[in-house]
Amino acid sequence: MAFVDLFISTLTQGFIYALLSYGVYITYKILDFPDLTVDGSFPLGAAITAVLLVNGVNPYLAMLASIAVGAAAGLATGVIHVKLGVRDLLAGIITMTALFSINLQIAGSNLAVERAIDTVFTMGPAAALGGLSLMYRKFIISLIIALLFKLILDWYLRTKSGLLLRAVGDNCTLVTTLAKDKGIVKIIGLVIANALVALSGSIVCQEQRAFSSTMGTGQVVFGLATVIVGTTLFRKMSFVKGTTAVLVGSVFYKICIQIAISLGLPANLLKLATAVLFLIVLVVGNRQKGGAEHA
């Protein structure tokens, strides 16, 4: 029974962090933009959520607020890069650094959400699942949210704006010939990506009932790893959508980390394990790509 509980909890984490992976998928895979804003916008969503929940705000409104502030973070990076001419990597670093101080101003270094305070896992649609334990309610709600935003993102990428977003990453010249501003398209992509990342931070905060100023450290590495794992797993299956691959990658990566913990890995080495696993994924992925090109 303990194994089943651990497996369900791991899947729940995979679904929640899939939202972050969707955001990284947009910047890394579609825009070809190395966006380090993620390490700042993730805890930003959590900080806003923690403060609002503690002050009695509806958890769903807190989610919307996290989406808004995440979008603002993406907008800041986009404006710094596009309008001020700062290189993409540096633009993300600047915003990420600024957000660390902003997060401390919003919620301090740590903020706990009391058990008596409702979250998306205890009220609204979750209340209809009252017969289930909290663990299973978290599993179902996180799965619904992950699938809902996956479908919304799939729909958006089929719209005119979404197709332009894809074109910017593949062929900027094409966007220019269509009389569209590629800079504005990039900004839109960064806004959407960081809104999703902040939403992930919001739900993590509600699931863990806590905010920590360091919870964003290494999240961009996690996001990149899940994107690469997912797209590598389904490389030869063109019918599988990118968002589906990323969702599976997020769950798979969380399972790998959980296995490492179950084998006795100390908690303070978790980030090291994440970095090593990411390195392995990169090396294997590059070798497979090189072998395919030579073939």
What's the alpha-carbon Rg for the chain, to the nearest Å?
A: 19
CA distances from 273 to 267, 278, 295 (A): 10, 8, 33
The DSSP string of the chain is -HHHHHHHHHHHHHHHHHHHHHHHIIIIIIS----TTHHHHHHHHHHHHHHHHHTT--HHHHHHHHHHHHHHHHHHHHHHHHTT---HHHHHHHHHHHHHHHHHHHH-SEEE--TTS--TTTSGGGGGGTTS-HHHHHHHHHHHHHHHHHHHHHHHTTSHHHHHHHHHHH-HHHHHHTT--HHHHHHHHHHHHHHHHHHHHHHHHHHHTEEETTTTTTHHHHHHHHHHHHHHHTTT-TTS-HHHHHHHHHHHHHHHHHHHHHTT--GGGHHHHHHHHHHHHHHHHHHHHHHHHH-
pLDDT score for 293:
54
Task: Return the higher-pLDDT residue of 177 and 180.
Answer: 180
User: In DSSP terms, which residues pair with 210 in a beta bridge?
Assistant: 112
Whole-angstrom distance between the N-terminal and C-terminal Cα of the chain? Answer: 47
CA distances from 230 to 82, 92, 105, 146, 282 (A): 30, 24, 36, 15, 12
pLDDT tier, 46 (very low <50, low <70, confident <90, very high otherwise) = very high
Cα distance between residue 62 and residue 228, in whole Å: 31
Question: Where exactly are the structural domains of the chain?
Answer: 2-215
Structure tokens at 273: 């394990």
CA-based nearest residue to 274, from 220, 193, 233, 230: 220
Task: Return the higher-pLDDT residue of 295 and 229.
Answer: 229
Cα distance between residue 252 and residue 167, in whole Å: 29
Collect all residues with Cβ–Cβ distance below 8 Å to 150 and sequence separation of at least 6: 18, 22, 243, 244, 247
pLDDT digits (tens, 9 = 90+) for 100-146: 999 999 999 999 999 999 999 998 888 777 778 889 999 999 999 99
Percentage of the chain lying above the pLDDT 70 cut: 93
pLDDT digits (tens, 9 = 90+) for 202-213: 999 999 999 999
Q: Whole-prediction pTM value? A: 0.92
Task: Return the higher-pLDDT residue of 234 and 249.
Answer: 249
